[in-house]
Amino acid sequence: MHHSRYSLSEYRIKEIIENKLNENPDIFYYIDNYHLQKVVDSLVEGIAEAMAENNQKLVDNITKIIDDEYKKQKLFRGY
């Protein structure tokens, strides 16, 4: 199963976060610090990786999720 068909890629997640940061260019103008920029870059990459990994896990487990929800509904309805 090709997961990017059903969820965002790590690249796209990173792009969304970076675009949001770029909406406020003054942030980096006033905070002109190399180390702070590295922290921000690491956070962006870490968040993108975590979200991509989570998306992959959801795609990998979709059948189990559907089965669990089906069982829960049957139990709730008394079947």
71, pLDDT greater than 70: yes
Cβ-contact 2, 60 below 8 angstroms:
no
Mean pLDDT of the region 52-76: 88
The two tokens of residue 39 are: 């922290």
Reported as type and span, the H/E element at residue 9 is none
Q: Establish how many alpha carbons lie within 13 A of residue 74's alpha carbon, considering only the half-sphere containing its beta carbon.
A: 7
Which pTM value belongs to this model?
Answer: 0.62
Cβ-contact 18, 70 below 8 angstroms:
no
In tens, the pLDDT along 4-59 reads 566 778 888 889 988 988 888 887 777 778 888 888 889 999 998 998 888 888 88
- Give residue limits of the domains in the chain: 8-77
Which is more confident, 23 or 3? Answer: 23
3, pLDDT greater than 60: no
